[in-house]
Amino acid sequence: MTVSKAPKNHPDIAKATRERVMAKIKELNYRPNPMAWCLVTGRSFLVGLTVADLIHPLFSEIAKSLSSALLKKDFFLLVASSESDAVLEDAEIDHMLAHRLDALVVATTRSPSENCARSARRATADPSRPRLSGFSL
């Protein structure tokens, strides 16, 4: 526990201990494991975005704007492009959900498949997390 507390200036860590830990962190180029943090907090700080076509100006602008907004809140955006293929889109959604994302945005040009709808219900089983579906521009 000392290693995780030292960089945060936790009051349980003596100054000398903190200095030793910080020196080792620098020496070893230590980086915290975000997956371990996910297990502790229940949050991944990851948001998934699957789009029909990443090169399309609308979808690329959505990805750019969403990424910029998320970074300000210490979230990271994962992007996938389905190339308007329903089977590929469903696989991308399942793969992203397996990574315990905090949110998933599906920007598609077609009606969602049954698998997509089923995945959305599964992804929002936690009632504390909001769900928005079925809106269009």
Residue extents of the structural domains in the chain: 2-32, 38-123
pLDDT of 32 reads 80
pLDDT tens string 28-59: 998 888 778 778 888 888 999 999 898 999 99
Q: Which H or E element spans position 79?
A: strand 76-81
Give the architecture-level CATH label for domain 38-123. Answer: 3-Layer(aba) Sandwich (3.40)
pTM of the model: 0.68
Can you say whether the dihedral through the CA atoms of 117, 123, 126, 128 is positive or negative?
negative
Q: Which residues pair with 80 in a beta bridge?
A: 50
